[in-house]
Structure 1
Amino acid sequence: MVPVYNVADYVAASLDSILHQPLREVCGIEVIVVDDGSTDGSAEIVKEIAATEPRVTLINQPNCGVSIARQTGIDAATGDLLTFVDPDDILPRDAWSSMVRSLRRTGSDFAVGSAERITIENGEVRRYVTPLMRRNHTRTRLRCRIEDAPLMLADVFVWNKIFRRSFWTDNAITFPERTRYQDQVALTQAFLAARAFDVLPDVVYDWRVRSDFSSATQKRAQVANLVERITTKRQTVELVASAGSPNLMRTLRTEILPIDMWEHFRAAVDPTTEDPDRYWSLLREAVLELWYDAGVPFEETTVPRGQRLMARLVAEDRRDDLADLVTMIDERGPARAIEAFSSRECH
């Protein structure tokens, strides 16, 4: 399932990578593309491809957001298995075979593979795996339950997985509407609902980081971005709390919820940030609510020391000190900056 909105520069290559997947483990594929009201010619590109490629089905709808676009595609799907591709990304040469083989062998509800982030710097392609992705995919683990592998809750991406479609629909897994961070809620639902899932070390997805800074995760300085991120974290906390597992909740608060907060800490003292007073107020409220008021001070999280120090300054309403710390980190590097800042605190 491919949701499309104004990705004319990317969508043809993305679909090409899908259509050239080897079908060693499946008898066929249906590629359902939902154009969500594009205005840049994306739909026309897909229409041309679909005219000569019967495996591609194009559905057009008014702009409703990626969550509704994905749901439209899910409703139209007829196959036994379900997977997702973002239209600005590329699949590796053989993305699906290992996951399909694993599902056939284990009967699990879904399989999860690793992913590499792709950046282009000065014309050179760079590939890397994020630290949590690396930790979660060091070895094969079959028929896992989330209690056995709680850190998998950090794997909040929909596109590096293959689901049994019946599992998805029977458990009414949904993407929250009108938010840039819809994957985390849906994937938390999936991990909590699964009787079993398979974790594989194979790289099954190439995650492109756009150089034009147009992706959702590259707009941290917007108030709306912060609000949506906080809302998603609150929804995730509610879902995990309903599971009644202290172990899962502890993992969520110490290892998963904090991992992207440093970008918002930095944005809070960036001179270009939108409505800085409101941004600071919302950020501070969230830090207090999600960690300190919940009995898990940010100092107990597993993120690097500098990020923990940033959070403490936010919690203590010390915006000027946070700005000083960020400047020191940029000028001296984290270790020397933290040492200098801590020394200043002692005097």
Structure 2
Amino acid sequence: MNNDLTISLIIPVYNVEDFVGECLDSVIEQTYKKLEILIINDGSTDNSKKICESYKENDKRIQIINQKNGGLSAARNTGMKYATGNWIFFLDSDDVLERSALEKLVKLSIQEDSDIVISRSVKFKNISQIKKVKDERLKYKNCNTQESLDLYFYRKLSGYSWGKLIKKNLIDNGFKFPVGKLYEDVYTTPELFIKANQITITNILGVFYRQRNGSIVNSKFSTSKLDILEADKKWINYFQNNYKILNAVYSHSFFNIMDL
């Protein structure tokens, strides 16, 4: 494997002083070392910035970009402006990477010549739970755009931006997350699949996904949650002439309504 190839890790940070250290520990300890670690401090008002700065002092791969609070999409967009790696990997600052995840994902991306490699995620609440999770024997499936969109809209494939190793050329031509919208991934993940020639879905354990109170998924209903239906409408309009995928989008929208 060519270890000169770099992954740009984009980590938005906002008021996560209790968790960001565990996140950065998991990044620094990765077995794949060719990393560009981009921390976007999105106007944190707690000790998150200080914690990140202490990590930067000990690891030259870390860059900290400070900006006024603009939300997750704005922070990710800033990270993409600074990214220079061969791949992009989005990671939320309260989540944790499996130690060998990036090495395995890069190896598979090169082996299969895939534009996107999608890893498996495991939910957790406390860091002690991570040690109890066992890795599995490697399995993977290659999909074209049509197949991956079908799986995504029928909710058989993760739509989150994190947990995916993405070739940087897919985001080089104006790709952006919608600022001020909830469920920003629903607006953008299908766009990445459309641009990709091949997507590899794998059981490689990538991200431990922290469950905590106050997250979008676990919060009560608000009108902002209707953003997910606006995102579905975008894709209904886009796929007007592709009836197979259009039916999948309608299914996706129906279940999103049921979840509100």
Would the alpha carbon gap of residues 240 and 12 (structure 1) be closer, same or farther in structure 2, given more than 3 Å must change?
farther
Aligned equivalent of 1:316: none
**1:125 CA displacement:** 4.2
User: SS in structure 2 opposite 1:103?
Assistant: helix
Question: TM-score scaled by structure 2?
Answer: 0.85
Aligned equivalent of 2:152: 152
Question: Share of identical aligned residues, percent?
Answer: 23
Q: Which amino acid aligns with 1:220?
A: K
1:200 aligns with 2:220: no
Equivalent of 2:89 in 70, 74, 83 = 83
Tell me if the contact between 2:120 and 2:163 (Cα under 8 Å) persists in the aligned partners.
Answer: yes
**Structure 1 stretches (4+) deviating beyond 4 angstroms?**
123-127
What RMSD, in angstroms, separates the aligned Cα atoms of the two structures?
2.2
Counting matched residue pairs gives: 241
**1:176 CA displacement:** 0.8
Would the alpha carbon gap of residues 124 and 98 (structure 1) be closer, same or farther in structure 2, given more than 3 Å must change?
closer
User: SS in structure 2 opposite 1:217?
Assistant: coil
Tell me if the contact between 2:121 and 2:208 (Cα under 8 Å) persists in the aligned partners.
Answer: yes
Unaligned runs of at least 5 residues, structure 2? 1-9, 132-137
Equivalent of 1:53 in 42, 59, 66 = 59
Would the alpha carbon gap of residues 214 and 196 (structure 1) be closer, same or farther in structure 2, given more than 3 Å must change?
same
The within-5 A match list for 1:67-216 is 67-119=73-125, 125=129, 139-142=139-142, 144-149=143-148, 150-153=150-153, 154=155, 155-170=158-173, 172-210=174-212, 213-216=213-216
Tell me if the contact between 2:228 and 2:256 (Cα under 8 Å) persists in the aligned partners.
Answer: no
More relative contact order, 1 or 2 (CA 8 Å, 6+ apart): 2
In structure 1, C-alpha distance between the alignment counterparts of 2:15 and 2:255, rounded to whole Å: 29
Aligned equivalent of 1:263: 259
Question: TM-score scaled by structure 1?
Answer: 0.65
The within-5 A match list for 1:163-312 is 163-170=166-173, 172-210=174-212, 213-225=213-225, 227-241=226-240, 244-254=241-251, 256-264=252-260
Per-residue CA distance 1:268-317 (angstroms, 9 max, x = gap) = xxxxxxxxxxxxxxxxxxxxxxxxxxxxxxxxxxxxxxxxxxxxxxxxxx
User: SS in structure 1 opposite 2:145?
Assistant: coil
Q: Which has the higher strand share?
A: 2
Per-residue CA distance 1:142-179 (angstroms, 9 max, x = gap) = 2x212234113442111111111112213x32211111
User: SS in structure 2 opposite 1:177?
Assistant: coil
